[in-house]
Amino acid sequence: MEWDQQQENQLQNQREENGVMYVKVMTDEQLETLRKQIAVYASICEQLVEMHKNLTAHQDLTGGRLENLYCDPLMTSGGHKISARQRWTPTAVQLQILERIFEEGSGTPSKQKIKEITSELSQHGQISETNVYNWFQNRRARSKRKQVVVAASSNNKNGAESEVEIEVESPKTKPENLLLLPQAQQDACFQNPDITSQLHFLGGSYHIYDQHAWQGE
């Protein structure tokens, strides 16, 4: 990593006075804190990678039951009618696209827009305009009352001592499922610079996350 390039213009914080050079400084402890934070991030990355691996592997191995795309009408043994699913299930790619469109743009896509979107999505799987329409309707309705209760908000009760106990445990802790947090929470993770909050989920004392999209009132 190379940010050294920018170091130069950081020296503006120095100040000389009476022959003594003053600099805004950081003590070792603070430094240590930072290091820990970095360590935490490193840890997070590590675990995320691990997670990623597992997921990938999982898909390959037990990718088992995925019947997503409308399966073939051909029924094999049994003679039962397995038939296609009734409900459309967006594929990963489609979801990504939809999500993106949803975020960037305007709230309600026009009919025309829907056609375009549908058209694009159809490149990634079976889909109909109705599906798209419904998706947006639902997405909107549900996101409206969706709120994530991010826990682990800072709790600087004891003044100076911000116990940053990073117990960066090695993945020995039975990582099979840990930190598979809802993305909402994940997002929060990165919007919140306070790493201590992340320590929580790393340490296992994750907090609740709640709500989805119902309650209006």
Partner DNA sequence: TCGGTATGAATGAACG
Partner DNA sequence: CGTTCATTCATACCGA
Which of 19, 76, 172, 193 binds DNA (CB under 7 A)? It is: 172
**97-104: long-range contacts at Cβ-Cβ below 8 A with a sequence spacing of 24 or more?**
97/121, 97/124, 98/132, 98/135, 98/136, 98/139, 102/136, 102/139, 102/140
Please give the C-alpha separations between residue 20 and each of 14, 17, 36, 168, in angstroms, as whole numbers: 10, 5, 32, 41
Question: Is 45 one of the binding residues for DNA (CB under 7 A)?
Answer: no
Closest approach of DNA to the CB of residue 145, in Å? 6
Contact positions with DNA (CB under 7 A) in 94-153: 107-111, 130-131, 134-135, 137-142, 144-145
**Closest to 163 (Cα-Cα) out of 191, 192, 200, 188:** 200
Closest approach of a second copy to the CB of residue 170, in Å? 18
Q: Which stretch binds DNA (CB under 7 A): 41-49, 82-90, 117-125, 189-197?
A: 82-90
Structure tokens given for 63? 């990718």
Q: Which option in DNA, a second copy, none does residue 42 bind, with CB closer than 5 to 8 A by kind?
A: a second copy
Structure tokens given for 45? 């990355």
Q: What are phi and psi of 14, to 5 degrees?
A: -80, 155
Distance CA 196, CA 137 (A): 37
Closest approach of DNA to the CB of residue 35, in Å? 34
Name the helix (H) or strand (E) containing 16: strand 14-17
Site string for a second copy, 143-182 (x = CB under 8 A): -------------x--xxxx-------------xxxxxxx
Binding region for DNA (CB under 7 A): 59-60, 63-68, 70, 78, 80-81, 85-90, 107-111, 130-131, 134-135, 137-142, 144-145, 157, 169-175, 177, 182, 208-209, 212-214, 216-217
